[in-house]
Structure 1
Amino acid sequence: MAVQFLRKASVWLKKHKITLLAVSCVGLFGTNVSYHVFPEQTFKLLHECWSEGQPAELSQRLCGVFQDVLQDTNVKSTDSYRAFAASGFHPVSAGIPWLPAGSLVGIPPNFDGTAEDKTGIVKHVIVIDGKEVDWESNEGVALKEALTFSLEAQKFVLAREVVYLQNGSPLASAVVAPTCLAGTFFSGRAVKLLLGLSAGPVVLRSVCNIVTAAGGLLFYYVSYDAMTHHLDCKADRKAAMLSKDYARGGIEFYDKILARNRIFRGLMGKKGAKMYAPSGNLFPRYWFRVKYTPYTYRRDLIVNILRKLQA
């Protein structure tokens, strides 16, 4: 009975494989982009900052800074971009501006702190490796400094998130998986035709399919990481080129991100060594993948842009 069912399933798959491929590609694309199509129901719930059992509200100052950034980035419809208080240490974003749901940019509470007033940071409890950070210790003072950004740095990173969404980056990232799936399918068929395995033994065809699938998975990882690198650098470049102040803010932002990560590496012990490189970059070892664009590379990119703007 089971053998008969498998035979029928095999025949059905051969007959409808193109349709199944199309449905799979659309499903993959829809799954990847759903996070951005419904940001209120997905993204915001994951990243929203809470205070005393209620969603935290952004200060008037940060709302004003966000509006200034929207103006500087030439956003035509400011209603398409909304800010909210997010957990974490630096801004996050999601959404597609031209869709009804618009886009969301999450601004962390440490952005309320300024070089003149750091009290907004020390009000928050940070627990690392099971221990609460003592803001009066050497590490606490250094961390406080690394989490405090000037107005220029705040504007840069907010502009970077806005530009990232303006460029349609969520859609570009979502396209990678279905493209690689379709490419793997057609590559597999081409290889079998070239090797004359289309009507060959089942074992050889199975081996060919496994090798092709493994190659397709490897290609997906490399393509996705390359796309992430391209989109990150593109957003950084556009934000830094808005003005010299934005470029200086970008350099400061990445300098402090690197400093913060180095502090975390020391405070977290062995876990920190696995998560952060001595330079402050994320995940120093992850086989052949580079899942995150190195912060040192992004800083150097902005340094070169500032040199051009000053020339």
Structure 2
Amino acid sequence: MSKLLKFSAETGEKFLTYSLVSVGLGTVIAQVAPHVWFLDNYAGLFQLYKKGFAVEVPSHFETMLSEISDDLAIPVKNPLTRLLTVIGFDTMHFGTTSTTSGCFIGIPVNFNYKSEKDIDKLSIQVGNKSVPWDSKDGIELANSLILSDAAKRFGIAYELSLVDTFKFYLHCFSGPVIVIICGGVNNYFCNIFGLPYRPFPVKGVFYGLLIAFGIGFYYLSKDLITTYYEMQALKNVSKVGEEYITGGLEFYDKLLARNKALRNLLPDGSSEFNTDGDSIYLFRKKHVPITVKKQLLEKELEKLNHSNII
């Protein structure tokens, strides 16, 4: 074996090792940086502004958060859980309750709506166009934005339950675990087949497949972790009582109605939402479908009603 070939193989192996370590650390930093180190800055990117000023969260939502905290037995004072008004019409969460940085629960502006008169229709656009509010889809969209206090309470409770899980940590460590697996696969093929000394096209095909496997496995693990804890959060909230279950059913009914209206209003709406109102994902399953969440709550309500009869 020539010294040049040996040097090339050893250099390639060192480069691969350093690359794997860098990727593993990078996936951890990509999770920790926005949700811990720069939590305020990251959450601020989703803050809703109006006329140059941040839209404040009404004080009664702080009271509601405190009540939800008592119902779920999740402390919101230490570490601190804060509310902010976010862009769009979906609830969000940032950070986790298990770090000193605390977390944010993002509530959409339509949580402030009490009737259709409160909707700022001139500022809402769909597909960069004004909404035809007098059309059937426009009327359904407007109705979907009005929520009862029970539905709002459920939305906040669901997000609070999510930030009080191990989801953040599993997302952090899924990357390094997959890097270790990929490193093990590489070492196996190197030892058995002498991969470092094979022709470049052979190594190129192998590492191309290995990278594709690692990326695919990484996103698959992220989606499995997310969907698992979304279902756990639903179950935790539904255990509190009937008010949360009925609020959740309304919450998801309104989301489905909104998505059905958007399916017709958006130029490419049929590729964004299916006829039931669930989001369409090409390869991944980023979240539990809304219809599945609704079915779970319906089963929980049925169990509760059955136990009350007995």
TM over 0.5, shorter chain: yes
Among 174, 184, 189, the residue aligned to 1:176 = 174
Do structure 1's residue 279 and structure 2's residue 276 form an aligned pair? yes
Instruction: Count residues in correspondence.
Output: 300
2:94/2:163 contact within 8 Å kept: yes
Amino acid at match of 1:65: M
1:87/1:109 contact within 8 Å kept: yes
For residues 272 and 255 of structure 1, the distance between their equivalents in structure 2, rounded to whole angstroms, comes to 19
Among 141, 144, 147, the residue aligned to 1:146 = 144
For residues 138 and 299 of structure 1, the distance between their equivalents in structure 2, rounded to whole angstroms, comes to 24
1:181/1:216 contact within 8 Å kept: yes
CA-based RMSD of the aligned residues comes to 2.5
Q: Which residue of 2 aligns with 1:217?
A: 215
State the 1:266 CA deviation.
0.4
2:24/2:176 contact within 8 Å kept: yes
> Which moves more between the two structures, 201-210 or 221-230?
201-210
**In structure 1, the residue corresponding to 2:286 is in which secondary structure?**
coil
State the 1:275 CA deviation.
0.9
Are residues 74 and 205 of structure 1, via their aligned partners in 2, closer, same or farther at CA, if it must alter by over 3 Å?
same
**In structure 1, the residue corresponding to 2:82 is in which secondary structure?**
strand
1:160/1:236 contact within 8 Å kept: yes
Amino acid at match of 1:109: V
Q: Which residue of 1 aligns with 2:77?
A: 78
**In structure 2, the residue corresponding to 1:47 is in which secondary structure?**
coil
Q: Which residue of 1 aligns with 2:183?
A: 185
Q: Which residue of 1 aligns with 2:225?
A: 227
Percent pairwise identity: 24
> Higher RCO, 1 or 2 (CA under 8 Å, sep at least 6)?
2
State the 1:124 CA deviation.
6.2
Unaligned 5+ runs, structure 1: none
Matches within 5 A, 1:247-262: 247-262=245-260
**In structure 2, the residue corresponding to 1:104 is in which secondary structure?**
strand
1:94/1:170 contact within 8 Å kept: no
Matches within 5 A, 1:154-165: 154-165=152-163
TM-score, normalization by structure 2 = 0.87
**In structure 1, the residue corresponding to 2:119 is in which secondary structure?**
helix
Amino acid at match of 1:309: L
Amino acid at match of 2:238: A
Unaligned 5+ runs, structure 2: none
State the 1:104 CA deviation.
0.6
State the 1:77 CA deviation.
4.3
Are residues 209 and 139 of structure 1, via their aligned partners in 2, closer, same or farther at CA, if it must alter by over 3 Å?
closer
Deviations 1:58-78 (A, max 9, x none): 112222222221221212342
1:111/1:148 contact within 8 Å kept: yes
Are residues 124 and 190 of structure 1, via their aligned partners in 2, closer, same or farther at CA, if it must alter by over 3 Å?
farther
For residues 126 and 18 of structure 2, the distance between their equivalents in structure 1, rounded to whole angstroms, comes to 50
**In structure 2, the residue corresponding to 1:259 is in which secondary structure?**
helix
Amino acid at match of 2:181: G
